[in-house]
Amino acid sequence: MKKLSVIIPCYNEAEGRIPEVAYNRLLKVMKSMENYEYEFIFVNDGSKDDTLLILKELAEKDQNVKVLSFSRNFGHQCAVTAGLKKVTGNACIIIDADMQDPPELIPEMVKLWEEGNDVVYGKRRSRDGESAFKLLTANAFYSFLNYMSDVDIPQNTGDFRLVDRKVVDKMNSLPEHSKFLRGLWAWLGYKQKELEYDRAERFAGTTHYPLKKMLKLASDGIYSFSSKPVKAIGLVGVIFLIFAFVSFCGTIISVIVGGPTFNWFIVSALCFIGGINMFALYLLGNYIIRIYDEAKGRPQFVVDEEIN
């Protein structure tokens, strides 16, 4: 019998006994799929409230509930990364505890997985009950990330997805420490399929992704998937050097026609120094990018199958 592992990160979710409600809803879905075993991997990301207590109660009641508890808050991406290492099923599903992503979609995901897709990711068609500010920043974030990033990260997708075990194993084998999962799933490749859904409102509690954490996530995404900022520095350097050249020509012409030369020369010198500086930073940046790429230790390629 195939087994499905569900990873549920939880941080300060005791209000409204969120993990228990999530457990009941997930259990109902799992029971509706008769041909599969299941395990729930709850990751307590250093909650300061009674979340861990609730999780312990669940684990006592149900042997299929596994709990991993952090010593302090390490962040959602770390919680999911830790959960991925515990997966024993043939596929895993990553879902938030607040049930904003409907678990009732899991059977559909499993069906698409059984049809041969390795990753089935949820794509938000709409988002209920999120502030205009969150919607605006989220939209800006996804567009900006997509523009900046060197791999194609699908828009309006979060971490809600089903992933085949072989892809989970590849993800676990990546040595980089601060993993921006959404980007890495895209980077890993494999047969990916999107599934559109409407994102619900939180049924209790409040978001743990304030602006500060969102900015951190955004910068992780950009730093680990983009070399565009360095290219931008190079471009500015070149523009300065062009200005320097034009003003230098102005100086020469002024000398020939006997006009004022001082201003032309000053502008030319300043642009030249600025331009050279920027260009030097660009060169250094390129070395740093290469060092960073090596340090991330991502393999050069990912093999899916080998025949004969």
Residues of this chain that interact with Mg ion (CB under 5 A) are 96, 98, 100
Q: Between residue 120 and residue 159, which ones bind ligand UDP under the rule CB under 6 A?
A: none
Residue 221 touches ligand UDP, criterion: CB under 6 A:
no
Find out whether 99 and 200 touch, Cβ atoms under 8 Å. yes
Name the residue nearer to Mg ion (CB basis): 96 or 118. Answer: 96
Edge-to-edge strand ranges of the sheet holding 65-69: 65-69, 36-44, 2-10, 91-94, 157-164, 119-127, 192-199
Q: How far is the CB of 11 from ligand UDP (least distance, A)?
A: 3
Residues 45-72, buried b or exposed e (16+ Cβ, 10 A)?
bbbeebbbebbbbbeeeeebbbbbbbee
Amino acid at 177: H
- Residue among 3, 21, 50, 73 that touches ligand UDP (CB under 6 A): 73
- Residue among 7, 52, 79, 271 that touches ligand UDP (CB under 6 A): 79
Give dist(CA 60, CA 65) in Å, integer.
Answer: 8
Find out whether 225 and 127 touch, Cβ atoms under 8 Å. no
Q: How far is the CB of 113 from ligand UDP (least distance, A)?
A: 22
Select the span of 6-14, 109-117, 225-233, 259-267 touching ligand UDP (CB under 6 A): 6-14
Q: What is the CA radius of gyration of the chain?
A: 25
Token pair of 216 as six digits: 């951190």
Name the residue nearer to ligand UDP (CB basis): 154 or 234. Answer: 154
Name the residue nearer to Mg ion (CB basis): 158 or 275. Answer: 158
Q: How far is the CB of 207 from ligand UDP (least distance, A)?
A: 3
Q: How far is the CB of 138 from ligand UDP (least distance, A)?
A: 8
Query: 209 touches which of Mg ion, ligand UDP, none (CB within 5 to 8 A by kind)?
Result: ligand UDP
Residue 98 touches ligand UDP, criterion: CB under 6 A:
yes
**Distant-in-sequence, close-in-space partners of 304: CB < 8 Å, separation ≥ 6:** 166, 189, 190
Q: Sign of torsion, CA 19 23 25 26?
A: positive
177-216 footprint of ligand UDP as x/- string (CB under 6 A) = ------------------------------xxx-------
Q: How many residues bind ligand UDP (CB under 6 A)?
A: 16
Find out whether 17 and 47 touch, Cβ atoms under 8 Å. no
Q: How far is the CB of 289 from ligand UDP (least distance, A)?
A: 29
Q: Between residue 7 and residue 26, which ones bind ligand UDP under the rule CB under 6 A?
A: 9-11, 13
Q: Which residue has the tokens 């997708």?
A: 157
Name the residue nearer to ligand UDP (CB basis): 170 or 208. Answer: 208
Give dist(CA 233, CA 17) in Å, integer.
Answer: 50
CA atoms within 13 A on the CB side of 126: 5
Q: How far is the CB of 180 from ligand UDP (least distance, A)?
A: 15
Find out whether 240 and 278 touch, Cβ atoms under 8 Å. yes
Residue 94 touches ligand UDP, criterion: CB under 6 A:
no
Give residues in contact with ligand UDP (CB under 6 A): 9-11, 13, 45, 73, 75-76, 79, 96-98, 100, 207-209
